[in-house]
Structure 1
Amino acid sequence: MPRPISRETRLCMSLSGRPGNFGTRFHNYLYEALDLDFIYKAFTTTDLPAAIGGIRALGIRGSAVSMPFKEACIPLLDELDASASAIDSVNTIVADNGWLKGYNTDYSAVASLLASHAVPKDIRFALRGSGGMAKAVASALRDSGFRHGSIIARNAETGRKLAEGCGYEWLPELGDAMPQMLVNVTPLGMEGGPEANSLAFTPAQVEVAEWVFDVVALPVETPLIRLARELGKPVITGAEVIVLQAVEQFVLYTGIRPEAELIEKAAAFARGL
């Protein structure tokens, strides 16, 4: 039986342009399993300053932050953890007595996955995207020792800035190049989006690539990941990223790190398995 909600119940939340159910189901599963007096709810907003003010004024414990708010929320916070200040991108807000501190658990999740999958650091990669999540992924690649890469972004301003900040080249389009690792950090292939059936790279590029990494978490098998698997390519999925970063958020909110078996159960529940 879950705890009854009371005035002592602590609220955690998420802010996203397109709210999903993964975080809500993942966190609430763990709260119930660990008998914690917390509840989690996803939101979107057209008034970000008011939403952040609500976190501060109402004593909300913490908030996940997704596109398109990861950079826009920064001026509204009181402090940034090194994980967020290093890349000017926030995906987690923690409130302590009205003091709001921003973190980036995407960065640590990506760095951990690159290491656990033993991706060779001397390969050349192409990363499509230049938003807040792209900053986290590109910075994790840089700090993990990947020296040869391109940032692919039609937005020249954000693309150049990200590439220069991480020591990579910027290209508006990948063209006929055939990198050894393809990294999608755009909404292409996202469930429920206008380009849900789109590939971030050409089939020929996927066929030649040695690694494929798609940060899109839903569906678990994006068109890009599905094609890569069919071609026998090793992959890193957004489903892996979302679980690792959500665990770190849970720890920041509650101070408790669940055991690995419980995390696996929470992730399966969150995916509806």
Structure 2
Amino acid sequence: MSRSINRDTQLCMSLSARPGNFGTRFQNFLYEALGLNYVYKAFTTRDLPAAIGGIRALGIRGCAISMPFKEACIPLVDAIDVSAEAIASINTIVNDDGFLRAYNTDYIAIWKLIEQHGISRDTRLALRGSGGMAKAVACAFRDAGFKHGHIVARNELAGRRLAETSGFSWAADTRGLAAELLVNVTPIGMEGGTEADQLAFDDDDVKRSSMVFDVVALPPETPVIRLARSLGKPVITGAEVIVLQAVEQFVLYTGVRPAEESIARAAAHALS
């Protein structure tokens, strides 16, 4: 029996420059499976202050924040959780009776993946990217105890700024880095993008590495992930990231932590 939306239904939403379907499909699947009176809808906006004001004024329970709004939202909320404070980047807003608190579940997800995959803190890493998501990833590695790393970014100013924040070094490219862990936090390899068929790291980098981590979630098998698998390298995919961070958002919105079986079913539905 399908859900019925009524006056007591709690609305959750997302804000992104390019709204996708993953969050909508994932969250709504779990709401229905667990019998929760919630509904989730994706939005974009050209007036961010008005959109955040609408969350407060209309009693919208929660909002996922995607690029390019992760930093611009900070002055518009009432409080910032420790998961977002240190990196000055948010991806989740929770509304408690008009009080807006911001979190960064990307940061939480990366930390959990580091633990789950047992990555040694002595590993030398190269992280490609310098945007809001790159900040969350770099700072999660920093706070997990990694000391040996490089931020690889064509934008020197942004790259050096992130390197300073995370305690790593900046490099314009990967030449001479000999990184054991390669981490892509750019749109390279993203479905529908201008670089969808390109490798985030070249063949030699991947051959020298011991693990490849691509934060791009769609497709789950990006060109660099496919290459790494073909070479027998262990990988961490963006699908793992997007699912973990979405679960943490779900818990923040509803107060309910789904069973692993329910999470797996929701993820398969959302990624299909």
TM-score, normalised relative to structure 1 = 0.97
Structure 1: distance between partners of 2:154 and 2:77: 30
Deviation, structure 1 residue 259: 0.7
CA deviation profile, 1:9-66 (whole Å, cap 9, x unmatched): 1110111122111111110000001111100011122221121111111111101111
1:72-83 paired onto structure 2 within 5 Å: 72-83=72-83
2:44 equivalent to 1:44? yes
Give unmatched runs, 5+ long, in structure 1: none
The equivalent of 2:167 in structure 1 is: 167
The equivalent of 1:270 in structure 2 is: 270
2:195 equivalent to 1:195? yes
Deviation, structure 1 residue 158: 1.9
The equivalent of 1:244 in structure 2 is: 244
Aligned residues: 272
Report the more deviating stretch, 171-180 or 40-49.
Answer: 171-180
Give unmatched runs, 5+ long, in structure 2: none
1:1-273 paired onto structure 2 within 5 Å: 1-272=1-272
Structure 1: distance between partners of 2:188 and 2:3: 39
Runs of 4+ in 1 over 4 A off after TM superposition: none
Structure 2: distance between partners of 1:157 and 1:50: 31
Deviation, structure 1 residue 174: 2.3
Amino acid at match of 1:104: N
Deviation, structure 1 residue 176: 4.6
Deviation, structure 1 residue 177: 3.2
Amino acid at match of 2:163: A
Tell me how large the CA RMSD over aligned residues is: 1.1
Deviation, structure 1 residue 115: 1.0
CA deviation profile, 1:77-132 (whole Å, cap 9, x unmatched): 11100111011010100011111110011111111111111112212110011111
Structure 1: distance between partners of 2:224 and 2:69: 25
Amino acid at match of 1:83: S
What SS does the corresponding residue of 1:175 show, helix, strand or coil?
coil
Amino acid at match of 2:19: P
What SS does the corresponding residue of 1:39 show, helix, strand or coil?
strand
What SS does the corresponding residue of 2:196 show, helix, strand or coil?
coil
What SS does the corresponding residue of 1:146 show, helix, strand or coil?
coil
Structure 2: distance between partners of 1:179 and 1:195: 23
Report the more deviating stretch, 180-189 or 15-24.
Answer: 15-24
What SS does the corresponding residue of 2:40 show, helix, strand or coil?
strand
Structure 2: distance between partners of 1:48 and 1:233: 42
CA deviation profile, 1:208-232 (whole Å, cap 9, x unmatched): 1111000001101011111111111
Deviation, structure 1 residue 204: 1.1
Equivalent residues of 1:80, 1:102 under 8 A apart: yes
Report the more deviating stretch, 100-109 or 46-55.
Answer: 46-55
What SS does the corresponding residue of 2:84 show, helix, strand or coil?
helix
Equivalent residues of 1:212, 1:234 under 8 A apart: yes
Structure 2: distance between partners of 1:16 and 1:230: 34
TM-score, normalised relative to structure 2 = 0.97
Structure 1: distance between partners of 2:191 and 2:43: 18
Over the matched positions of the two proteins, sequence identity in percent amounts to: 67
What SS does the corresponding residue of 2:20 show, helix, strand or coil?
coil
Deviation, structure 1 residue 68: 1.2
Structure 1: distance between partners of 2:120 and 2:55: 42
